[in-house]
């Protein structure tokens, strides 16, 4: 998804650098694509929050009732949380970039 977002941002950057204004239909298409990326970002944010809560909850459970199987499971959650944070960070920055590109295209 990050590659698709990057490719779309490069396409919009190219269109913005050309200086030709977009038609209302093209602007609507850009808004639609941004909406899709926003939805993807929201889904990944919710999953990231779930894994963060599971990770913290697992550590608290381990402190309350030390069982090494819980600790192993918690490290698995942490192992999934770190890539989710990285992926969400890329989605968030990409969508923010699309917002600024859309503003530039709308003004031209």
Over the range 73-106, which residues count as b (16 or more CB within 10 Å of their CB) and which as e?
Answer: bbeebbeebeebeebbebbeebbebbeebbeebe
The answer as to whether 91 is a domain residue is yes
Q: Determine if the pTM surpasses 0.85.
A: no
> How many domains does the chain divide into?
1
pLDDT tens-digit map of 9-36: 999 999 889 888 889 999 999 999 999 9
**39 Ramachandran zone, left/alpha/beta (phi>0; psi -120 to 50):** alpha
The answer as to whether 20 is a domain residue is no
Residue-number span of the structural domain to which 68 is assigned: 42-108
pLDDT tens-digit map of 29-49: 999 999 999 999 999 999 999
Instruction: Tell me what the pLDDT averaged over the chain comes to.
Output: 93
The answer as to whether 37 is a domain residue is no
pLDDT for res 19: 80
The answer as to whether 27 is a domain residue is no
């Amino acid at each position: 998804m990050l590659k698709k977002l990057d490719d779309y941002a490069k396409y919009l950057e190219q269109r913005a650098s050309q200086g030709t204004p977009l038609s209302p239909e093209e602007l609507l298409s850009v808004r639609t694509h941004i909406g899709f990326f926003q939805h993807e970002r929201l889904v990944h944010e919710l999953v990231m929050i779930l894994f963060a809560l599971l990770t913290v909850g697992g550590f608290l459970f381990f402190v309350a009732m030390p069982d090494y199987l819980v600790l192993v499971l918690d490290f698995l959650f942490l192992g999934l949380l770190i890539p989710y944070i990285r992926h969400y960070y890329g989605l968030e920055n990409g969508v923010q970039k699309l917002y600024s590109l859309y503003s530039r295209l709308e003004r031209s």
